[in-house]
Amino acid sequence: VPVHLYGQSCNMDEVAEIAKEYNLFVVEDVAQAFGGKWHQKKLGSIGNAAAFSFFPSKNLGGFGDGGMMATNDNRIADIARMLLSHGGRDKYNVVHIGYNSRLDTIQAAVLLAKFKYIDELNSNRRKIAQVYTAGLSEISELRCPVTLSDAYHIYHQYTVRIADDKRDSVKQSLAQKGIATAVYYPLPLHKMKLFRDRAVAAEKLEQAEKASEQVLSLPIEPLLSEQEQLLVCESLKKTLS
C-alpha cells in the first residue's frame, strides 16, 4: 500500500518492481494526492486499485466525509460496488459482508463543483511551495521537503523538519503570530496502543520516531496571499535566528 504522503508520489517504479518480484497486489493510497502524478501518470491509475479521500481537509474535500476507489480491473470493481452497498448486487441479495459507504448526493454535488478548480488549486499549492523553499532554504535548523524529479507533487502539505528539539517551541511562536501549523504525525504507528504490543520487529524505528519529533506542516491553503506566504517565511526566520 504505497501512501502518496503530503501530495508527493511514492517511487512507483520501485513499488512495481517489488510487487512483480513478490507477486503482490498494489493498492495506492491517494488520500493526500488527488491530481498528483508519477511520470505524467495520474496517481490512482498505476496500481491494481486506489483509495481516495474527500474528507473536508483534503486538497479535494467535500463538506463532509466521502471517498472514492479506482481500479481498471472489472473483478475488483464488481466486488467494490457490492461492498460499498451492504455487500450485494442488489438490495435484497447480499453476497459479502459489506458496508454502507455510498457517496451521498450532497457531497457528490459539492465535489463536482470543486472538481473544476482542482488543477488550478494544485498549481497554486506548487507555487506556494516554491516561495517557501526559496525563502526557507537558508535556515540551517530547518529542512525543506524534497520533490522527486519524476513526481508532480501537489503539496497537500508542505512539511518541514526542525532540528534540535525546537519544533514545539517554533509551533508555539508561530501560533502567537496567528500562523496555524500542524504536526503530521505526532505518533508513529508502532507506538500506537493498537500496534505497541504487536510490533515486535519494529520496537525501534529510529527514522520514524525522529520524523515524528521534527515534522511541522506549514499553511498551504491554495488561496493564501503572497503577503501571508512571506509572513510565514519571515516569522520562521526570526524564530529560528
Residues at the site binding ligand PLP, with contacts judged by CB under 6 A: 3, 29, 31-32, 53, 55, 67
Shortest reach from residue 33's CB to ligand PLP, in Å? 8
Closest to ligand PLP by CB, 64 vs 172, is: 64
Closest to ligand PLP by CB, 10 vs 240, is: 10
The DSSP code sequence of the chain is --B-GGGPPP-HHHHHHHHHHHT---EEE-TT-TT-EETTEETTSSSSEEEEE--TTSSS--SS--EEEEES-HHHHHHHHHHTBTTEEETTEE-S---B-PPPHHHHHHHHHHHTTHHHHHHHHHHHHHHHHHHHTT-TTEE-----TTEE---S-EEEEE-TT-HHHHHHHHHHTT---B-S-SS-GGGSHHHHTT-GGGS--HHHHHHHHHEEEEP--TT--HHHHHHHHHHHHHHH-
| Of residues 31 and 111, the one with the C-beta less far from ligand PLP | 31
CB of residue 31 vs ligand PLP: minimum separation in angstroms? 3
From CA 234, how far away is CA 98, in angstroms rounded?
51
* Closest CB 51 distance from ligand PLP, rounded Å: 7
Instruction: Please identify, using beta-carbon distances, which residue of 67 and 88 lies nearer to ligand PLP.
Output: 67
Q: Which is nearer to ligand PLP, 49 or 136 (CB)?
A: 49
Cα–Cα distance for residue pair 18/23, rounded to 1 Å: 8
Work out how close the CB of 67 gets to ligand PLP at its nearest, in angstroms, rounded to a whole number.
Answer: 5
Strands 49-53 and 27-29: parallel
* Smallest separation (angstroms) from ligand PLP to the CB of 34: 11
Closest distance of CB 28 from ligand PLP, Å: 10
The values of phi and psi at residue 151, to 5°, are -105, 145
Shortest separation between residue 124's beta carbon and ligand PLP, angstroms:
20
Residue 53 or 71 having the CB closest to ligand PLP:
53
Q: Which is nearer to ligand PLP, 69 or 136 (CB)?
A: 69
